[in-house]
Amino acid sequence: MAKTSSSADQLITYILKGIEEVKGKDVNILDLRELDNTVCDYFVICNGTSNTQVNAIVNSIQKTVSREIKDKPWHVEGTDNAEWVLIDYVNVVVHVFQKSIREYYDIEGLWGDAKMTAVPMS
C-alpha cells in the first residue's frame, strides 16, 4: 500500500477486514491526496450482490473499526435502500454499492486522476 498516515493506514486495514468478513467484491482504494479540492484522502469502494449484503458489509465495517480502533463514522447515509451506502470516517470515505448502481455512477471513472489500488479478496 502507498505510504499513508498511520491512522488512515490502520483505518483502511480494518475497513478491508470488515469488507472481507462478509465477502464484499471488487474492492478498490483511491488515493486522492495528490488531487486538488478533495473532501478526503482516500475512497474505499466495494460492492455487494444485494441490499442485504450491502447492509451486512456496512455493519461489518463499522463493527470491525469500532472494535479494533474505537473509531466511529462521522456520517453514514444510504442504508434505507442500501443501493449505495456512504460511510464517512472524515479522511477515509467508504462507498458500498450494489453492482449495477456502482457501474452506473462509475466513481473510479469520475476520479480517474486518483491513484487506484485494487485489493484482492479471498
The answer to whether residue 50 sits within a structural domain is yes
71 within a domain of the structure (yes/no): yes
Instruction: Using pLDDT thresholds of 50, 70 and 90, give the confidence band for residue 26.
Output: very high
Q: Which of 57, 46, 53 is nearest to 21 (CA)?
A: 57
Q: Which of 22-26, 51-55, 118-122 has the lowest mean pLDDT?
A: 118-122
Q: Are 24 and 119 in contact (CB under 8 A)?
A: no
The average pLDDT across 60-73 equals 97
* Structural domain count, the chain: 1
For residue 1, tell me if it sits in a domain. Answer: no
For the record, the C-alpha cell of 68 comes out as: 479494533
Q: How confident is the model at residue 122 (pLDDT cuts 50, 70, 90)?
A: confident
DSSP state of 22: T
* Strand order across the beta sheet in which 92-98 lies: 75-77, 84-88, 92-98, 42-48, 25-31, 115-119
* Domain-embedded: residue 67: yes
- Residue range 42-54: mean pLDDT, rounded: 97
Is the pTM for the entire model greater than 0.85?
A: yes
